[in-house]
Structure 1
């Protein structure tokens, strides 16, 4: 029975990943590229005085940990999973719409209220990768943390799809752990403060709730995959 259930969810997830692969890859790449155009424009050309975000007790408690740069950068792999798991053209376009509006809302927040993290109290030059990161992604566009907003939006969608497919709890736990690692890394690498993370979580969570509530129905499993799932369940 255990093998049968495993085959069923593997069939479901596999069929999702195989569907419209190039459209998903190219669409996600274009989405990230367009977001960064707006992000870096506002980073280098703020529309007004830049507010420095305050430190909290949480920020004092979490030390600078350069090893968390890897989870921080892993977001750009993580964000491709949820669109990759969409089934049907309309659900895929709907996901793109909601994630796009989420990003535009974040950019609007940066435009109306430019923010930055407090100046670093350490020299990150001795840590591999930080010179490049700080040269590209400076301390601005801090609140809300779009790293966290996009990550929690992705996490909620992956959880919904995995749960619906009957995936094992360990896989769903790994999804949650990946999100938490990304969220923690934003503070551990000093790219954000705790208030940025809170604001980003609320923003991304709100859009995740709305997008999961108002979404088109998914297409059924393709005939060969559906037939295989039925055989697996016997």
Structure 2
């Protein structure tokens, strides 16, 4: 083969974006593993304590949009996949600053939601669905009751994770199909909250506002400064 033909051969090994993702995963991995585990396990006792001890909840009204969403229990795995999805921005954080920004965003969202749950307890309507033992939703409805509805932390976590993941994938020049998969996963989780009758439109919108707000606020300072410069008139 001629030297020019060697230059035309595709490069061997994984693509650069995949190598960059692996490097991100390996950075600070003990801290990420322990921190994510402690944060996830520590969240639930307080969440369920507030659900049990808050005052009489106000039942959220159904909208016409809620009536259009078909009950789809097969989406329960998508609903539960949030706890895998929200771990991805943690393990893809490239340094302590990126890791702490995501952790603080989740912590502040949780604090805001828990305060709302305590002072303004809400619950979804009592949907007529089969939750008898042996059904796919029996365990979910037994453990996670209808309380702590507004704002939906399930939605806010997924949206916040989607925004941060989109930023991380862009930084490593990930292919478009992977970026679209990120968005599709987040959309699927948001939709599943209504399809498995865990949330209604009102608390989904509250979760969207919370997740998008913290997602924008978590942008690196350099990106915010660059956006401000671009917005200035010539």
Give 1:1-234 correspondences, 5 Å limit.
7-46=15-54, 48-125=55-132, 128-214=135-221
Gaps of 5+ in 1: 217-234
SS at match of 2:15: helix
Structure 2 CA distance, aligned partners of 1:2 and 1:99?
45
Structure 1 CA distance, aligned partners of 2:43 and 2:219?
22
Q: Cα offset for 1:90?
A: 2.7
Would the aligned equivalents of 1:56 and 1:194 in 2 still touch at CA under 8 Å?
yes
Structure 2 CA distance, aligned partners of 1:118 and 1:99?
27
SS at match of 2:75: helix
Would the aligned equivalents of 2:73 and 2:136 in 1 still touch at CA under 8 Å?
no
Deviates more, 1:71-80 or 1:94-103: 94-103
Post-superposition CA distance 1:75-105 (Å, at most 9, x none): 0110100011001123212321221111111
Summarize the Cα distance change of 1:62–1:36 in structure 2 as closer, same or farther, 3 Å threshold: same
Would the aligned equivalents of 1:115 and 1:141 in 2 still touch at CA under 8 Å?
yes
Summarize the Cα distance change of 1:2–1:58 in structure 2 as closer, same or farther, 3 Å threshold: farther
Gaps of 5+ in 2: 1-7, 224-234
TM-score by length of 2: 0.86
Root mean square deviation, CA, Å = 2.1
Q: Which has the larger radius of gyration?
A: 2
SS at match of 2:218: helix
Would the aligned equivalents of 1:66 and 1:127 in 2 still touch at CA under 8 Å?
no
Summarize the Cα distance change of 1:151–1:127 in structure 2 as closer, same or farther, 3 Å threshold: farther
Structure 2 CA distance, aligned partners of 1:128 and 1:12?
42
Aligned length: 215
